[in-house]
Amino acid sequence: MHDMVVAFSKSWGLFYLVALAVGVVIYAYWPANRARFTRAKNSILDKDDRPWS
Amino acid sequence: MIARLTVAERQSALLILIVMSFLGLAMAAAGRGTPFGLHGFLVIAASIGVGLPLLRKFYAPEPDPAQFEQYYDDPTKVGIVLAMLWAIAGMFVGVWVAALLAWPDLTIDAAWASFGRLRPIHTSGVIFGFGGNALIATSFHVLQRTSRARLPDQLSPWFVLLGYNLFCVVAATGYMMGVTQSKEYAEPEWYADIWLVIVWVVYFLIYIRTLARRKEPHIYVANWYYMAFILVVAILHIVNNLAVPVSFGDFKSYSAFSGVQDAMTQWWYGHNAVAFFLTAGFLGMLYYYLPKRAGRPIFSYRLSIISFWGITFMYMWAGSHHLHYTALPQWVQTLGMTFSIVLLVPSWASAGNALATLNGAWHKVRDDATLRFMMVAAVFYGISTFEGSFMAIRAVNSLSHYTDWTVGHVHAGALGWVAMITFGSIYALVPWMWKRETMYSARLIEVHFWLALAGTVVYVFAMWNSGIIQGLMWRTYTDSGTLAYSFIDSLVAMHPYYIARAFGGLLFLLGAIVGTYNVLMTIRVAKRERAQSGGGTDVPSYGRDPVLQAGE
């Protein structure tokens, strides 16, 4: 049991972290997301201080 | 404040307090005369202490519905003040234990005042009391502003804030009475742990419920950090504190883990407490208050997303670097070491992102001590994460472990990064919350900044020197293969550094006192101004550019 868990975590642990890293980079650099991110980082700077209705 | 709760919320609050009083009574009865029983009385006292002002305003009319068109900031305001008071208390005990190390004869002959009981009061006081209250206060503020939605109700934020402070008080008073499960940063016993789980679940639900009501479709990156902080701390806290109490009338419990499994669970918890309590949450602060104060958007939003996922997924595996050269399997140690080194990438991505945001606004950093607090925090974040990755390497760890180098590293992070970003955020937030243009005194912020920076530098350099000397003395052998120095030799060598450390800590404490005075005076002046102007309910001047001082 112990050996199985160790073998599993030593192999698949690597693959899922690499897959996650690739996925995150693709998401962050996906061209269509650029407009969304630019809007998000500027949106906090407005002086509006009421909840939107 | 209480009159702003709806009648239904006041009734629910009273019901909660009555239930808590009965629980306290049951604890007091079950643990007659023991620390457990005393904590029962403490719970009753806390319930009555909150209940009396509640009853006084209990029959006040329903609040003006116009308030629901505004954000709900009362818990944030109280949280800021509580954070500052905890800062003074926790740092005062810190200076006290530092002085005890330099001059052991200073001790008074009382069990509660012994080093072993005071030291966790210092660590819990500053991490959970100061840091936790600051995180709760700022998270409610950031969450509402970035979601463009009001908190879902007005009772649960109070439950979280006050319930959390009850946990902190139970923890600190417990240490004085010798109540501890001897796990670093997880000392509170089972009943306090269960209470914290309840509080924390409500906290997470507030986050989820507010996000569900959000009017801004995109969830701003700061919220991801705050959510990671809340969610992961819940997981860590529950798993590491799995224990069986001796009885339901006794404070003592025994951990579900033993031996090296216990050590691994504890340091999986301990290092992720650093990662998610002391890093993720404060990065949430950084990603909101720094761009806001600088008046510039974050340098790279993409980088902030990449570093978020990097930090969340890699920190989880780094804890075993606390257990080099132990019974822990070698490959687990190596795994922790490797992840600690890789972690440098997302850590420096965040630190660099913050500094690049300021690029082009250096004149503001020069003139505005509030922004300078945040800038220095980002620099220390970069320094201490580099140092941490370095110290996690097994060979380096063989020199640094068990020495003051570790203490220096922790304080480079805690003073230089966590406390600096908190003070900067609080100085930015207080004028917004109390609807003033600026803090009471810009000069006092300046004084605080230099006290804090000087204190940190003195402290960290003293501990670097002391730690490396200590480590080298412990591993120096004579020609005949025996140790060259006795333990007491290394202690004598450390003495001057211990004095320097106590002095550095004292400077930092003085800074916190100055800051608290400034915050309280800002509140007072704001109230006086409001009274003079007739108390308008308009929402002015949020986050306007900081007013710059003469000499610009």
Across chain B, which has 552 residues, the per-10-residue mean pLDDT values are: 94 98 97 95 98 95 93 97 98 97 92 95 98 98 96 97 98 96 95 98 98 95 97 97 95 95 96 95 97 96 96 92 95 94 96 96 96 98 96 96 96 98 98 94 98 98 97 96 94 97 98 98 94 63 48 45
For A13-38, how does the pLDDT look when each residue is reduced to its tens digit (9 = 90+)?
A: 888 888 999 999 999 999 999 999 99
Cβ(B126)–Cβ(B94) below 8 Å: yes
Q: Give CA separation, B497 vs B99, B196, B267, B466, B510, in Å.
A: 11, 38, 28, 6, 20
The pLDDT value given to residue A47: 83
Q: What is the pLDDT of residue B274?
A: 92
pLDDT value of position B535: 57
A14 within domain boundaries: yes
- pLDDT category at A2 given cuts 50, 70, 90 is confident
If we measure between CA atoms, which residue out of B237, B176, B166, B178 comes closest to residue B204? Answer: B237
Selected residues 118-157 of chain B with any CB under 8 Å from a CB in chain A:
144-146, 148-150
A3 in contact with B, Cβ within 8 Å = no
Q: State the Cα–Cα distance between residues B490 and B471, nearest whole angstrom.
A: 9
Whether the Cβ atoms of residue B405 and residue B497 lie closer than 8 Å to each other: no
φ, ψ at B254 (rounded to 5°): -120, 135
Q: What would the DSSP string read from start to end of B116-162?
A: HHHHHHHHHIIIIIIIIHHHHHHHHHHHHHHHT---S-SSHHHHHHH
Query: A20 — contact with chain B (CB < 8 Å)?
Result: yes
Q: CB A51 to CB B144 under 8 A? A: yes
Predicted confidence at residue A49, as pLDDT, reads 86
- Nearest Cα to Cα of residue B464 among B417, B375, B399: B399
Task: Report the alpha-carbon distance of residue B26 to residue B110 in Å, rounded.
Answer: 29
Domain count, chain A: 1
Q: pLDDT value at position B552?
A: 41
CA of A13, closest CA in chain B: separation in Å?
Answer: 11
State how far residue B150 is from chain A, nearest Cα, in angstroms: 6
Q: A22 to chain B nearest CA, in Å?
A: 10
Task: Name the DSSP class of B304.
Answer: H
Cα distance from B353 to chain A (closest Cα, Å)? Answer: 13
d(CA B504, CA B201): 38
pLDDT at B536: 54
Q: Which of A15, A16, A33, A44 to mutate to test the interface with B (most CBs of B within 10 A)?
A: A44
Yes or no: say if B36 and B250 are a contact pair by the CB < 8 Å rule.
yes
Interface predicted TM-score (ipTM) of this complex, two decimals: 0.92
Distance from CA of B305 to the nearest CA of A (A): 7
Kindly state the percentage of chain A with pLDDT values over 70. 100
Q: How many alpha carbons lie under 13 Å from residue B226 in its C-beta half-sphere?
A: 30
Domain boundaries, position A33: 2-40
- CA distance to B90, B175, B305, B476, per residue, from B121 (Å): 7, 7, 36, 35
Superfamily of domain B72-532: Cytochrome c oxidase-like, subunit I domain (1.20.210.10)
Nearest chain A residue to B292, by CA? A45
What element of type H or E holds B253?
strand B253-255
Contact B306 A45 (CB under 8 A): no
DSSP state of B475: T
User: B297 vs A49, B31, B152, CA distance in Å?
Assistant: 18, 55, 28
CB contact under 8 A, A40 and B301: yes
What is residue B165's predicted lDDT score, i.e. its pLDDT?
Answer: 98
Question: B75: how many CB neighbours lie within 10 A of its CB?
Answer: 23
Range list of H helices, A1-53 = 2-29, 34-43
CA dihedral B505, B509, B510, B514 (to 10 degrees): 150
- Where in chain B are the domains? 1-60, 72-532
Contacts A–B by Cβ distance under 8 A: 79
pLDDT given for residue B303 in this prediction? 96
Q: Using an 8 Å CB-CB cutoff, list chain B residues near A29.
A: 302
